[in-house]
Structure 1
Amino acid sequence: MAEKANGRPCPLCGESMSHRHCKYVCPQHGVVYDCSDTFY
């Protein structure tokens, strides 16, 4: 099952990131944000 992009842009390249569990994943840079981050 493919993960659906939620529209949140990657701060590094602007690509739409996927939301997986507690992480936002950029197709180019991998995990950008996770639950331990206190900012968005």
Structure 2
Amino acid sequence: MNDESGRDACTLDAPKGRPCPFCGSSMSHRHCKYVCPEHGVVYDCSDTFW
């Protein structure tokens, strides 16, 4: 379903990913890693502190 702006309504309500601890941007989850669009890989599965 599209709204007036032409964007998909489902993507407007989609939850954001885990925030980057450095800049607060929404990170994407790839395999065993959290990747910030600005800082690259921030966490991976070998990090046991979180």
The aligned length equals 36
Q: Given the two structures, how large is their TM-score scaled by the length of structure 2? A: 0.65
Unaligned runs of 5+ in 1: none
Q: Given the two structures, how large is their TM-score scaled by the length of structure 1? A: 0.80
Q: Percent identity?
A: 83
Moved over 6 A (4+): none
User: Hey, which of these two has a bigger chunk of strand by percent?
Assistant: 1
Flag the structure with larger Rg.
2
User: Hey, which of these two has a bigger chunk of helix by percent?
Assistant: 2
- Which one has more relative contact order, counting CA pairs under 8 Å at least 6 apart? 1
